[in-house]
Structure 1
Amino acid sequence: MTQKQPILLTETHHGGILVAFYKVLMDFCGRERGYDLFMTAGRTYGARRGRRMAMRAMRDGNPLDLTSYFAYGELLCNDEGLDDEGTYEAIPGTVHEHQTDCWWAREFRAMDCEQCGVDYCKEIDGAVVRGFNPTMGFERTQNMHLNSSCDFYFHSPEVKSDFMSTYESRLKPGQCVKREMAYHCADVYQMYCHVITQVLPKDAAGLIERVRAILSERYGKDFLPVLDSYSGTDFEQI
């Protein structure tokens, strides 16, 4: 599934794709309808990620618990320099994720669209969790676009104090379940295109062209061909 790329797509590009769709939808639809359309696509994208994680876990004979959720996480992050901005603390029954900065947030700010982060980030993690297992305990208590950090709490009786150093043992030796960021960029791009096409069939082509123009101007001529190289990918397939 990994493809040779003329440029390396990263979390920054993933954030930029979201901003491009956000700006175009808000401009065309207005705040209320644009928000509903943007968030519906984001939730559906997140749920699809969670479903892929769940299907891989079940394929391997593993339960849909918190250990599998962490073990089968897909994101393979490429951007460097923010390793110290996030922490995970496990206490019996709970994992606390604390993030004070991320490349998505930086790109939202750089593109003068922090509201995109306020809206998208308040639901994307919950959408992934629901796609994986909607009965799993999860809370989002803060968003760094409104506060000093993003804070998430994952609840499960299986969690012990050594959880963060042991959950990967759920995987087979040498097993890799991560997907490159170019895959995730194409996944979110495809989902937004799909939802827009379904909801606004007469206007979708023009709106998507506006999105592509924003992305090409920001990231250069080699960016769109990488996205388009995934056009035949079935993102439901594991």
Structure 2
Amino acid sequence: MERFTATHHALLFAWISRAVVQAVGEKDGERIVRKGVVKYALQRGKRMALRAKANGHELTMDNYIAYVEWKSQKGEMEQKILARNPHARINVFRCPWHTAWKENDLMSYGRYFCIEVDKALVKGFNEELQIDINGTQPNDAKFCDLIFKDANLTPCNMMKLIYKKVINPGKNAIMPWEYHSGHLYKTMGEVIRDELGEEAEEIMSVSLRDFTDKYGKEAGQILIDYESTDFNRLP
């Protein structure tokens, strides 16, 4: 079985989203899916904060950037830094989520992820921090336009950020995509069950079947195995 990638994560989300929308309609479906994304991202942000605190690092915006739990593969991302100080502004022209949804005709379901994920991640890390999302590609913008308020990426702070990315926390902050996908499947399922009760079981079964049809039963079992994991704690 191939290792999970960001594409697995992206398609899993879109299949869950599609199953919800097809079951309850777009209006309620969007609300439920976006609620699930917020819960998922808050948990991820809080884990990032726990790692930073464990290493004696303050919960600043530059440390938020340092403690991101994933790393793109070569060729997956295309972005440009427009400003560094006092606010960091980044335009993203290509990412694996947008690519996966576009290639599989799932943009209308995947796009909900991008509406909520970044703001909830930052809030989970530190409620006092702020990120502005001026547009995202899956929601009809030409590119994703993100402003990380008070990142203060001066030359000195950039050197510190590079050190953190490479040395401490370095690779220790990066979680495998199996973990991220298991987290997504569990947390989205929790929210959908809270909202829809017994109807949620069929929705999650449909999305799991879509996933296993593409990636195999062994990959699907990995998602199921993560349902006993506490994603509010460091692994």
Question: In the alignment, does 2:48 pair up with 1:53?
Answer: yes
In structure 1, the residue matched to 2:142 is: 148
CA displacement at 1:174 relative to structure 2: 5.2
- Separation (CA, whole Å) in 2 of partners of 1:136 and 1:75: 20
Cα pair distance change 1:202/1:221, threshold 3 Å: closer
Letter paired with 1:70:
I
1:123 aligned to 116, 122, 127, which one?
Answer: 116
CA displacement at 1:150 relative to structure 2: 0.5
- Separation (CA, whole Å) in 1 of partners of 2:97 and 2:152: 31
In structure 1, the residue matched to 2:214 is: 218
1:73 aligned to 65, 68, 76, which one?
Answer: 68
**Number of aligned pairs?**
231
Letter paired with 2:15:
A
| TM-score, scaled relative to structure 2 | 0.90
Cα pair distance change 1:160/1:189, threshold 3 Å: same
- Separation (CA, whole Å) in 2 of partners of 1:54 and 1:9: 25
5+ long unaligned stretches in structure 1? 1-5
CA displacement at 1:39 relative to structure 2: 0.4
CA displacement at 1:195 relative to structure 2: 0.9
- Separation (CA, whole Å) in 1 of partners of 2:96 and 2:161: 25
- Separation (CA, whole Å) in 2 of partners of 1:52 and 1:82: 25
1:40 aligned to 29, 35, 38, which one?
Answer: 35
Cα RMSD (Å): 2.0
In structure 2, the residue matched to 1:17 is: 12
In structure 1, the residue matched to 2:173 is: 177
- Separation (CA, whole Å) in 2 of partners of 1:16 and 1:94: 32
In structure 1, the residue matched to 2:194 is: 198
1:89–1:95 CA contact under 8 A, matched in 2:
yes
Question: In the alignment, does 2:88 pair up with 1:95?
Answer: yes
1:90–1:163 CA contact under 8 A, matched in 2:
no
1:90–1:161 CA contact under 8 A, matched in 2:
no
- Separation (CA, whole Å) in 2 of partners of 1:163 and 1:195: 39
CA displacement at 1:110 relative to structure 2: 2.4
Q: Secondary structure at the match of 1:100?
A: strand
5+ long unaligned stretches in structure 2? none
Identity rate, percent: 23
In structure 2, the residue matched to 1:227 is: 223
Deviation digits for residues 175-205 of structure 1, max 9, x if unmatched? 3211111111111111011111222222122
CA displacement at 1:98 relative to structure 2: 1.4
1:76–1:181 CA contact under 8 A, matched in 2:
no
